[in-house]
Amino acid sequence: MTNFLKKKKCDNPEEVIKYQNSLIELDKIAKMLIKRDLALTDSKEKLIKEKGKVDAVINSLTDGLIMIDLEQKIILINPKAQSILNVTKEEKLIGKVLPELVNFPHIKELYEVLTKTEGHCREKQCELILKELIEKIYEMQTTLVVTETQEIIGTLIILHDVTRERLINKMKSEFITIAAHQLRTPLTGIKWSLEMINTNVITEEEKKEFLDKAYQSNERMIKLVNSLLIVSRLEEGRFVYKFSEIQIENLIQEIIENFKIQIKNKAIGCVFSKPKIPLSKIKADLEKIQIVLENLIDNAIKYTPQNGKIIISLKENNNKIEVSIKDSGMGISKENRERLFTKFFRSAEALKIETSGSGLGLFIAKNIIEAHKGQIWMKSKEGRGSTFYFTLPIN
Interface ranges with another protein (CB under 8 A):
177, 180-181, 184-185, 187-189, 191-193, 195-196, 199, 201-202, 206, 210, 213, 216-217, 348, 351-352, 355-356
In the complex, the smallest distance separating the C-beta of residue 352 from another protein, rounded to whole angstroms, is 6
In the complex, the smallest distance separating the C-beta of residue 135 from another protein, rounded to whole angstroms, is 20
Q: Helix (H) and strand (E) counts for the chain?
A: 12, 12
Give the torsion through C-alpha atoms of 198, 203, 205, 210, to 10 deg: -30
Q: Which is nearer to another protein, 9 or 213 (CB)?
A: 213
How distant, in Å, are the alpha carbons of 55, 61, 291, 303, 309 from that of 315? 61, 53, 20, 24, 20
Residues comprising the chain, all counted? 395
In the complex, the smallest distance separating the C-beta of residue 356 from another protein, rounded to whole angstroms, is 7
Query: How many angstroms separate the CA atoms of 346 and 356, rounded?
Result: 10
In the complex, the smallest distance separating the C-beta of residue 188 from another protein, rounded to whole angstroms, is 4
Q: Which is nearer to another protein, 32 or 351 (CB)?
A: 351
How distant, in Å, are the alpha carbons of 10, 84, 250, 320, 394 from that of 282? 110, 49, 12, 9, 5
Q: Which is nearer to another protein, 50 or 206 (CB)?
A: 206
Q: Which is nearer to another protein, 233 or 352 (CB)?
A: 352
The answer for 191, left when phi > 0, alpha when psi is -120 to 50, beta otherwise, is alpha
Q: Which is nearer to another protein, 17 or 348 (CB)?
A: 348
Q: Look up residue 34 and give its amino acid.
A: I
In the complex, the smallest distance separating the C-beta of residue 328 from another protein, rounded to whole angstroms, is 21
